[in-house]
Amino acid sequence: MIKIEPPGEGDALRKWRRLRNGTSLWWHVQSRNKKSVTCDLRKPEGQQIVRRLARDAHIVIENFRPGALERWNLGWDELARENPRLILVRISGYGQTGPYRERPGFAAIAEAVGGFRYVNGFPDRPPARPNLSLGDTLAALHGVIGALLALHAVQKGGAGQVIDVALYESVFNCMESLLPEFDAHGYVRERSGSALPGIAPSNLYACRDGYVLIAGNADSLYGRLMSAIGRADLRDDPALARNDGRAAQMERIDAAIGAWTAGRTIAQVLDEMHQAQVPAGRIYSAADIAADPHFAARGMIERITAGDGEPLSVPGVVPKLSATPGAIRTAAPKLGEHTSEVLRSIGYDDSTIAGLRQAGIV
């Protein structure tokens, strides 16, 4: 994969969150297996480089505000003329059409407009944000899905196409029954803290030394959970046999589970839930993840030599394919590390590359 970056500072992600040796630690995860090519897309010479790269590309991904590529003579019509089988993934805040198309949009705004922020947090407090850019991640996943579908169509003889991904729509697409509940019943889902409204029991419960999550919301799980905590009365109550009945009495059920966990340690609760085959887990910090044997056994913590020459633990590659598994082949690149190599591969000679460098185009 080739990543185009502006000359000079490069991608802003290089300076986000915590840095080591002047580079974001996030960068070493986000940009592994990529080649960095610097290119000024505002200059005709830079635009020509992109058009030449697009000739042999399967997929081009961009996340500029709608209309930016067209202003730079790199819109769909121009790129498809060079490569009719090209797939162009366009990621923006509000999509390529509609009255909001030209508005700037980051993940934080998409999470709010898409409905997620409204339902996230506790009812007596303002809407909370996760300290992760979930909107960006969800948009990227939707872009991958679209690209794979389009690639399949091309391989079956179809033409290339545009994948229009909006950040807010990617969030909205994960909001489950939020809209039909409102349409059918006028019900507006509100913040509910750690509980899962309408699905019971599934909540966070206090132990002597912290908290555990227990999800006994399937009918059979509920029965085993109530047996494990010694509440045969709740297990055998016909009104609680199905989820709709339990959802109407969530507070009663949660109080019973909470009273049971309050006298036990996290380890004791998890052991008893494991024996009862009821899903439960502690809340992991980064330190817990780094020390967990299952993460290690699944290859989810890989030790690499980062681009700054120092060792670094990073997440492993997912999903896991049996025949063609993914791998970390190269470290995240230094800015412009592969510019000359890539330009030579599309026909530029060294003197031309030197001239482009001198002009600040690459």
Q: What residues are labeled active site?
A: 136
Residue type, position 81, single letter: R
- Count of alpha carbons within 13 Å of 86, Cβ hemisphere only? 25
| CB-based contact 246:222 (threshold 8 Å) | yes
CA 251, 255, 257, 262 torsion-angle sign: positive
Q: What is the C-alpha to C-alpha distance for residues 121 and 110, in angstroms, rounded to an integer?
A: 17
Alpha helix (H) residue ranges in the chain: 25-30, 44-55, 68-71, 76-82, 107-113, 116-119, 134-155, 167-172, 178-185, 219-228, 232-235, 243-247, 250-262, 266-276, 286-291, 293-297, 339-345, 350-358
Q: Which residue has the tokens 């080739």?
A: 2
- What are the counts of helices (DSSP H) followed by strands (DSSP E) for the chain? 18, 12
Q: Which of 37, 38, 31, 2 is nearest to 331 (CA)?
A: 31
The residue assigned the tokens 């081009």 is 60
d(CA 80, CA 158): 13
